[in-house]
């Protein structure tokens, strides 16, 4: 018991240290020490403090260095750094871009009435307007073959391509949004405390004895979501929404770190959709909600780990199945695998998919333990040997079989009826997708009937409510989100049973043991 307790305490301690360290790092990102002496030689003053007349110019080019030519698509004369705006324009696509090619946007902030390509006081940034991704297959009626998607038209008359044909290979997608930010604070940097993350965005020049830095221009890549992507096709023009807003220095530094983190995940093999799930956490949210998201996600992973640990420890010590339903164990294994395959088919976030996969493997191991299955390998082929049940386990199986018999009268017709209804009225990518969706709907709808009142064990009491918050923060299929509330229902019923039937510690159990610390003496 001491070893188990110390291991759990160690894990919780490491988790607390990790949370505190993360909070300290976040504070270091948001806070930047300003220059204490504005007239000192170590201060770097902002160019915007002189209220210069600026202009915003945006060009497109086939290459990031604009070799081979560039085209002006938009300009904002009398550009005010502190004035928020949003413009939607139509961008002409070169032939190479339409033929599965790329296109770049070159954003310049320069002095008014100056050519941005020759202005010594200009700052610029390059953003890719296209990205490569495998298009999502269309959903069709499996009976009539009718396609669900019609060819919708976007603002400006451009057609959303890909509704008529789908490729299995990555194709060029158009990013329909371009978000530009400039730091509006007139912040005085100290050379000795210049943040490394800001250094790459900092362009300075000497103005007499002063060192002046030009506006901090930032292109927000986190705002590029999968839902805004449009497949390039024969359309010669596509709409582009240009959004601008000023931001604080702390928010800029935070976005830089988050953007670098998403880029690192993509280098490790995360797909565009996986990265999009993480982007959705940060976009259009304030810092308080981001902090809540971090703590919820961290506690969710902690309680998942502790639940897996306790579940394995309990079943590792389990020698008999007396009083436990082996069919319920088999059902949980089946339902967990179905849920995992459903999440995999829906291309759900890895934050949800990985714990589901680990849970599936644990459930398979529990089935092996419950049915006393032994695996022998002979000539490279597995041989399965099932153990025998004793008399007590056999009686438990009889009651279990009787309960499953009556339950099947309700379970099977509803599952079959739901699957037939979905086949007729709903649309799916394939027959496999329909089968998985039908199975998972049955699992979600009737899974709570197989739940035992052991929810308080394995840290499920805390994990249940953490799951509720996690379900609304992380993107996942709607049916899986609703299924998170099954545990709440069972947990509340469990609490009601605990209140209605309290434990009588004075009662002697079948082994002649009483757990009352101060037993009352019998009067003679």
Output the pLDDT for position 89. Answer: 94
Among the listed residues 105, 156, 165, the one whose alpha carbon sits nearest the alpha carbon of residue 130: 105
Distance CA 33, CA 44 (A): 13
Strands of 261-400, DSSP E: 373-378, 381-386
Q: Write down the pLDDT at residue 475.
A: 56
The set of long-range contacts for 268-271, using a CB threshold of 8 Å and a minimum separation of 24, is 270/350, 271/133
| Distance, CA of 397 to CA of 348 (rounded, Å) | 37
pLDDT, residue 46, reads 93
- Measured distance CA(21)–CA(35) in Å, rounded: 26
- Spatial CB neighbours of 227, under 8 Å, sequence gap ≥ 6: none
Domain edges within the chain: 41-134+170-265
Q: Residue 71 half-sphere exposure, CB side, CA atoms within 13 Å?
A: 11
pLDDT of residue 163: 41
DSSP secondary structure of 123-175: EEEEEESEEEEPPPPPPB-TTT--BS----B-TTS-B-BTSS---SS-EEEEE
User: CA 260, CA 266: separation in Å to the nearest integer?
Assistant: 10
pLDDT of res. 524:
45
Collect the ranges in the chain with pLDDT lower than 70: 1-6, 138-139, 141-142, 144-168, 232-234, 281, 283-287, 321-325, 349-351, 387-404, 406-407, 444-491, 494, 503-524
Burial of 391 (0-12, 13-18, 19+ CB in 10 A): exposed
Q: Has this prediction a pTM greater than 0.75?
A: no
The answer to whether 222 and 151 have CB atoms below 8 angstroms apart is no
What residues form DSSP beta bridges with 131?
173
Residues 170, 167: Cα–Cα separation, whole Å: 7
Distance from C-alpha of 26 to C-alpha of 325, rounded to nearest angstrom = 48
User: Which pair of tokens denotes residue 111?
Assistant: 């002095």
pLDDT confidence of residue 68: 82
CA distance 48 to 187: 10
C-alpha span between 171 and 338 (Å, rounded): 31
């Amino acid at each position: 018991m001491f070893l188990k307790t110390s291991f759990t305490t160690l894990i919780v301690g490491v988790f607390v240290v990790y949370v505190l360290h993360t909070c300290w790092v976040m504070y270091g990102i948001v806070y930047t020490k300003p220059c204490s002496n504005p007239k000192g030689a170590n201060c770097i003053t902002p160019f915007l403090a002189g209220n210069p007349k600026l202009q915003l110019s945006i060009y497109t080019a086939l290459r990031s260095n604009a070799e081979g030519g560039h085209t002006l698509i938009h300009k904002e004369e009398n550009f005010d750094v502190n004035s928020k705006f949003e413009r939607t324009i139509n961008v002409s696509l070169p032939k190479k871009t339409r033929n599965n090619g790329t296109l770049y946007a070159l954003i310049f902030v320069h002095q008014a009435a100056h050519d941005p390509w020759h202005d010594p006081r200009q700052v610029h940034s390059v953003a890719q307007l296209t990205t490569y991704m495998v298009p999502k297959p269309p959903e069709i009626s499996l009976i009539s073959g009718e396609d669900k998607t019609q060819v919708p038209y976007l603002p400006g008359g451009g057609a959303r391509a890909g509704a008529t044909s789908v490729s299995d290979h990555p194709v060029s997608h158009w990013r329909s949004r371009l978000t530009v930010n400039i730091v509006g604070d007139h912040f005085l940097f100290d050379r000795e405390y210049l943040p490394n993350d800001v250094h790459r965005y900092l362009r300075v020049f000497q103005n007499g004895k002063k060192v002046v830095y030009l506006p901090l221009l930032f292109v927000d890549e986190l705002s590029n979501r999968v839902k805004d992507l449009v497949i390039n096709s024969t359309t010669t023009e596509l709409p582009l929404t240009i959004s601008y807003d000023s931001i604080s220095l702390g928010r800029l530094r935070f976005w830089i770190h988050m953007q670098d983190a998403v880029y690192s995940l993509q280098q490790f093999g995360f797909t565009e959709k996986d990265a999009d799930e993480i982007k959705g956490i940060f976009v259009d949210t304030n810092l308080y909600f981001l902090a809540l998201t971090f703590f919820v996600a961290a506690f969710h992973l902690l309680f998942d780990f502790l639940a897996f640990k306790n579940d394995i420890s309990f079943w590792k010590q389990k020698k008999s199945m007396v009083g436990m339903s082996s069919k319920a164990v088999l059902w949980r294994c089946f339902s967990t695998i179905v849920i995992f395959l459903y999440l995999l088919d829906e291309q759900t976030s890895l934050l949800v998919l990985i714990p589901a996969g680990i849970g599936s493997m644990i459930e398979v191991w529990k089935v092996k333990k419950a049915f006393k299955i032994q695996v022998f390998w002979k000539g490279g082929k597995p041989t399965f040997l099932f153990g025998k049940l004793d008399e007590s386990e056999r009686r438990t199986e009889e009651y279990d079989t009787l309960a499953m018999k009556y339950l099947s009268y309700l379970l099977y017709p509803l599952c079959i009826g739901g699957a037939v209804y979905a086949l007729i009225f709903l649309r799916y990518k394939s027959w496999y997708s329909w089968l998985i969706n039908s199975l998972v709907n049955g699992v979600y709808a009737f899974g709570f009937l197989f739940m035992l009142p052991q929810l308080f064990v394995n840290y499920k009491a805390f994990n249940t409510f953490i799951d509720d918050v996690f379900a609304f923060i992380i993107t996942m299929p709607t049916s899986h989100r609703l299924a998170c509330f099954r545990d709440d229902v069972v947990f509340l019923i469990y609490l009601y049973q605990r209140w209605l039937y309290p434990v009588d510690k004075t009662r002697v159990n079948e082994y002649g043991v009483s757990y009352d610390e101060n037993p009352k003496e019998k009067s003679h």
